[in-house]
Amino acid sequence: MKILAVDTSAKAASAAVTEGGKILSENFTDTGLTHSQTLMPMVKSVLDAANISVKDIDIFAINNGPGSFTGVRIGVAAVKGMAQPLGKECVAVSTLEALAYNLIGLGCVAVSAMDARCGQVYTASFECGETVERLCGDEAVEISGLEERLKSYRRPIIFVGDGASLCYDFYKDKVPCSFANELLRYQRASSTALAAQMKAMRGETVPAEKLMPFYLRLPQAERELKKKKGDII
């Protein structure tokens, strides 16, 4: 099974091609350019490096959120644009779940944490042994609201994601924990592909037209509008 995976959920972006769990090629960029400028050239580069055509791809995978609202929309639109004309299936992967795959095999609890601003993180926890097993759903919470959950874990806790250092700084004196080194800390399309392969094997694929972004909270502009109207957010 050949998988083309992309991630545009944060400042950096990446693309990868895998086959049977083996990484054939991967490209990562954090240049400050917009994803609309960098994504498709990266896709072409990983396909060329793997010596395959987009028509050879069996499954298209995307981190569909949480993350940057604009970034997620760009990634989802790009994947739909590639998959739909070919009639190929897609897999939507939680950004938080994909992050946990960075730590597969480490025998730990991966606590994925993305900085959601305003003292909050997007977070979920996963058991990372030879496989990745979800321990709770994705949510947006105050950083201070994780203590009870963290204290319940009996394996080493490793924070991963761009909110990892924030969580570590808050909890290092409260629970035994560490945070992933920089090579493993951020989103990687190859991890998205590994997660997508497991989902595809379970039949969790969708036609391209049904692929949608997943947001844990409203965009800032909508939250500000609701606040002005006096709505509870």
**Residues 121-130: pLDDT tens digits?**
999 999 999 9
Report pLDDT for 19.
Answer: 98
Residue 224 has pLDDT above 60, yes or no: no
Q: Which residue has the tokens 């970034």?
A: 71
Count of other CB atoms within 10 angstroms of residue 232: 5
Instruction: Classify residue 56 as exposed, middle or buried by CB count within 10 Å of its CB (0-12, 13-18, 19+).
Output: middle
pLDDT band of 229, cuts 50, 70, 90: low
Please state the rounded mean pLDDT for residues 191-195.
Answer: 98
Q: Which residue has the tokens 């700084």?
A: 169
Please state the rounded mean pLDDT for residues 140-146.
Answer: 96
CA-wise closest residue to 70 among 40, 36, 39? 36
Preceding peptide of 66 cis, ω within 30°: yes
- For residue 18, what are the CA distances in angstroms to 22, 67, 82, 197, 231? 5, 23, 17, 9, 46
Report pLDDT for 228.
Answer: 56
Beta bridge partner(s), residue 14: 7, 28
pLDDT over 70, % of the chain: 93
Query: How far is 201 from 127, CA to CA, in rounded Å?
Result: 19
Report pLDDT for 32.
Answer: 84
pLDDT band of 80, cuts 50, 70, 90: very high
Residue 225 has pLDDT above 70, yes or no: no
pLDDT band of 49, cuts 50, 70, 90: very high
Residue 193 has pLDDT above 50, yes or no: yes
